[in-house]
Every structure is written in C-alpha cells, then in structure tokens.
A and B are shown apart, each in its own frame.
Chain A
Amino acid sequence: MKKNNTISQLLNSSLDDYLSSSKKNLLIGEDINDPYGGAFKVTKNLSTKHKSQVFQMPISEQAFSGAAIGLTLKGYNVVVEVMFCDFMTLLTDNLINLGSKYAKLANDSMTGKILIRTAAGGHRGYGPIHSQNVEQLFFGWPNIEVHALNRFNDPGLLIKDIFNSKNKINILIESKIDYPQKLFKSEELADNEFELSKLDDHFKGSFLKNIKSNKIDILFFSYGSVVKEVIEAANKLLMEEELFSGIVVPNRIFPHNQFYKQIIETYKPNKIVVVDDGYDQNGWGAGILSFLSNLNIDFNLDDIIILGSKFDLIPANFQKEKSHFPNSSSIFNKIKS
C-alpha cells in the first residue's frame, strides 16, 4: 500500500490485485472501461490490463446484478460497480429474493462470491437522487452483509477479507467524498487527541480513544463520510466540556457486531451516540439500538442518541445541503443539549 495514495487510488490498486490473483475474478459495471474508467475513476486502466475479466455493462442494473449471481453458480467471483448508491434500489429484488435465498439454497453450487461496490453520500451538490445512502434497504436480510469503507483501513485488505469470508453476497458502501482523500495519519488523529487501535483485525473495524486517558464519557458509533465530523465534535467536547470520547468505526455495518458489547462493558460510557449519513428514523442507528437491547448489556438504553440527516429530500442547493447532513456542530450541540 502506498501511504500517499488517495482512497480511490487504493481501491484501484486493490481491484488490480484482485483481478491479477485469479482468472475467475471478474469486474462488471457501467462505464468502467478505459478511457473513462468509471464515474469516480476507481476502475481506471483495469479494462486495458485485464481485458478478459472486466466487462462494461449496459444500463441494466437489474440484469447485470442478476447475472452476477448466475456467475457465482459457475464459480466466478464478481465485483459489481454500481455507479451511485441511489441505483441500489434496482438491485433489491435480485439481492433479497435471489441472492439472499440462493446463498443458502444453492450453497453447494454457489462457489463464487459477489461484492457490490457503490458510491454513497452527499456533499457534492448532486441533489436528491445522486447523494443518498440507501444501504438501510439491505440491512436485515440473511446472507447479505453490508460493509463501509473508511479512512482508517486499506480498502485492499477489506476487499481481500470480504472475499475470504464465508459470506457470499456482500455490499461495500463507499463515501464518494472520501475518494480523493487519503487514509488518516496518526499525527492527524493525535492533533484531535485521538489514538487509533484496530479491533483485533481490520475486518472488524477501528476504535479511537483519547490518547492520554482510558476514560470514555461518550461512545460514538459511526461510519462513512460523517466520521470526520464525529472526530471534530469529539475534540470540541473534550476542549469545551471536558468530556472524553471513544469512536467505534466498524467495517461491517450489517449484521451488527458482537464486539460492541465488549467495548461498552469495558469503558462504561455515560452516553452512546450513533451517527450516520442516513435518516435517523428506521436506519442504522435504530438497528444498533435494537441490537444492543438484545445483548443484555448493563446500559440504560435511554442514554442512546441516534443522529442522522434531516428527514427530508437532500437539497439540490449546495449551501442547503451542508445543513442537511450531521456536522460537527450539530453533533456537539445535540450532545450538549
């Protein structure tokens, strides 16, 4: 891994490694061929280098995602690029009625795996249908796992782990504003009084806590582009309110992770705050609340705050869009109140 590479460059090189490692590894999607190389350039040069494994698809998300499931029955692994997360609604039938079922019912024949990568989130002024996080549609189905890229982990290791895991139908949510960013450096985190530790292995995720103290007053759970805002809010809480924070950034966002219990019981926070870019009602945070309620944890569930975007369409107006999603100030203010 080249440390100075951007997230999209790291993704590109991890897909290059994936395609080089086996002729049975394929990449499909819209506009992924050279010279265009994908809407976010993640697939640049791959169609030239791996001509027999990279296939540009027609604008037929339903057909090519269904075909990807068919390919797994012939032993092929398939990375499917879905240009915008908004288009994932078109995959629901294939993933829920076919993929989720066949992962169990055709287990012996389905010797390949699928990873659907998609660019999610706002902050680019793309308006209400190119800025959404619709991954909540895929939370709650057997055999479908949803992962999210973050700036703490090399995407290549995550992709490798996903293909090495037992699960066959996988989704990877990629924050589009993170594509041009680099991985967080430890100095950057230290500036915010944080140190980073990995949760056993990079498959699980990352955990940030204060560099000098083991005390955690507020434990955040977050993923996606909003993590940066959470770090800033946590820093402000320390500086202005003398509240210590911990931040859990899981790589796998569904199914929820058992290790949450261990962290909560170890650090005994006063509050748990779940922040993501989706809607706070019926989204990831609501799922975590329900998950924790079944874990038999010694924690008052009334002390959980769920924060998400405003329950409205994402504004096309770039200035208005800024206040649509949670930011460091709105997170800070909500906790303070």
Chain B
Amino acid sequence: MNSKDLTDITKKFLRIRFFEDSLDYLFLKQKIFGTYHRCIGQELVAISLTYYLDKKNDYVVSNHRNHGHYLAFKEKYADLLYEIKGDPRGSTSGNGGSQVICDKNFFSNGIIGSTIPLAAGIAFGIKQDKSNNCVVCFIGDGAMGSGLVYESFNLSSIFNLPIIFVIEDNKLAQSTHTTDTISGNFIDKFNAFNIECAETNDQDIQVLLNKSKEIISLTKNNQKPYGLVVRTNRLCAHSKGDEYESRDEILFGDDPLINLKKMINNDEEFKKIEKDSKDFIKSIVAKI
C-alpha cells in the first residue's frame, strides 16, 4: 500500500467513524428518529472490500448494518444522512430509512439473509450480460443460521456466479454469541458448496487489502463465486434501541484504527486527517 492509499483509507475510515458517532448526537437532538445499526469497529472490512471495485459497474449488496458499506462504496454521506432522517433528498428518497438503501448499484435490506439470493440474482444478470463485473455481498455471522444463505451458496456455485460472499464475523448476532447458535466453521460451509474461501481479520490491514484485491480479481476473471471470512469486532451496541449494551467484546475488542495510526506513523499527519474528517462530517451534520 502506498502512502496515498494509506491516507485515502484512513480518511474514509475516520469519516465513517465520525458519521456513525454523529448519529447518537442527532438522535438526542431529535433530528433523526427510529433505529439504526452502526458499524463502529467494522469500518475497515467495508473499505477494503470496496476499495478495488469498479464504482460504476460493480455491485454491493448489504444488510441492516449497511452504513459503512454504503459510505465506503458510494461516498455519499449527505445522501445517507438524509435517508436515515427520511428526507426526500436521501439516497432512497427518504423512503427506505437506515436499513433499506437502494442506490443504482448498491442494495440493502433489513431481513437477515434475504439479500443473499438478491445478490446472486444480480450476479446472474452480470453473467448473462457477459460483463466483467462482480457483486460483493456482505453477510453477518448471525445470518449463517439462515437456510436461505445455503440455498444461495448452492445456486451461485451451480451457475458459477461472479459473487464474493464476505462474512463479517463480529462473533455476535444482536446479543447472542454466534458460537452458541451456529455449529461448524464458516470455511467448511463454503467448501461444502465447492466455493473457495479465504480467511483473514481486520487487524492486519495490509493483508486484508491484499486479500480483497486478489479475491475481486479472481471473481471477475474466473466468473465464479468466492467466500471471504473476515474476523472483526463490533465496538458498539447492536442498534439504537440497545445503546447501553456493554459487553467485553464491545468494550475491549481490538480497534483497527489503532493499527492504521501506527501505519501512518506520523502524529501530525494523522491529526490532520482526523481534523479534516471531523470537519467534513460536521459540515454534513449541519445540513439536517
């Protein structure tokens, strides 16, 4: 990773982090209502897996915890904030809210598992079009309890669909440890459907980026599905309604921001990126 990439990634990371941080403030100020699922701690998974995508022609399919995916891929901060508010200027005209974002080549929905076949269908369309694109489909570890996920793995494998299934393994399904509810390991589950799968985490940033780049390239070139399991930590409550949730994993989980800071290795430069990012989000927040 060159220094430009590092700066770019750190900037994206901090913008997403400050965006997510701002939501609780806006909620308290009664500028936004309802609920939302923040991605604090998981930002780097979203950034890495979208960093090497063709922003115009590739697709990202997400789930209820979609803010980081959307912001990393589309970089439309104001649009997302308007959407969360239910404002017609939002990315889905204010009709979908936080969980249901539909914006050209980005789609999400709040029913866990429901977006996996949707993503497979988009990949089917890419295959039919004979275009050299792919779909990145983010799946939470909790969704691995849904039978629909396995139907979709099978479908994608049988038809060799250009789709990357990214499992963001934060070890928690809302408040439940996934080790209590999901048996077996995720890599075996992919292998059972003849889908090659790799495993990494979001602490070793360079490895995660390299793996993302490699898997996107493989998927596009080979026009077949791949799996990637990324170990990560959710450093916030499941949703707005669970704001006081405090657990060891949430309070003491590793934050990839610390490693990003180490990689920059220049306090002054980091502070500058931090200030710029904060100012940027402040200017977005001031709009609503």
Contacts and interface: CB of A to CB of B under 8 A. Distances in A.
A196 interface: no
A72 B107 CA distance: 13
Nearest to A96: B111
Given A55-B159, A74-B129, A76-B128, A62 B117 contact: yes
Contacts of B117: 62-67, 69-70, 94
A77 to B, nearest CB: 11
A106 interface: yes
B151 A62 contact: yes
Contact of B155 (A26, A52, A60, A75): A60
Contacts of B44: none
Nearest to B147: A62
Interface in A103-148: 104-106, 108-109
A55 B120 CA distance: 14
Given A58-B158, A97-B111, A71 B121 contact: yes
Given A69-B118, A105-B102, A60 B154 contact: yes
B104 A67 contact: no
B253 interface: no
A101 B96 CA distance: 9
Nearest to A106: B102
A64 B155 contact: yes
A74 B118 contact: no
Interface string A256-288: 000000000000000000000000000000000
B107 A73 contact: yes
Contacts, number: 109
Interface in B145-164: 147-148, 151-152, 154-155, 158-159
B167 interface: no
B98 to A, nearest CB: 13
B159 A66 contact: no
B73 to A, nearest CB: 15
Interface of A is mostly: helix
Contacts of B121: 66-74
Interface residues of A, number: 32
B114 A66 contact: yes
A102 interface: yes
Contacts of A241: none
Contacts of B123: 70
Nearest to B163: A70
Interface in A39-93: 52, 55, 57-58, 60, 62-76, 93
A212 B152 CA distance: 58
Contacts of B235: none
A75 B129 CA distance: 10
A130 to B, nearest CB: 21
B47 interface: no
A206 to B, nearest CB: 35
A26 B116 CA distance: 20
Contact of B109 (A26, A74, A97): A97
A282 B151 CA distance: 33
B124 interface: yes
Given A63-B117, A70-B121, A105 B155 contact: no
Contact of A67 (B96, B118, B126, B147): B118
A63 B152 contact: yes
Contacts of A64: 117, 155
B93 to A, nearest CB: 8
Nearest to B153: A63
Nearest to B110: A97
A1 interface: no
Contacts of A104: 95
A35 to B, nearest CB: 20
A94 B109 CA distance: 11
B92 interface: yes
A98 interface: yes
Interface string B88-105: 000011011000101011
Contacts of A109: 102, 104-105, 107
27 contacts: A58-B158, A60-B151, A60-B154, A62-B151, A64-B117, A65-B117, A66-B121, A66-B152, A67-B121, A68-B121, A69-B117, A69-B121, A70-B119, A70-B121, A70-B123, A73-B122, A73-B125, A74-B126, A76-B125, A93-B111, A97-B109, A98-B109, A98-B114, A98-B115, A101-B100, A105-B95, A106-B92
Given A58-B151, A58-B155, 8 more contacts: A58-B154, A64-B117, A67-B124, A94-B117, A97-B111, A98-B111, A101-B96, A101-B109
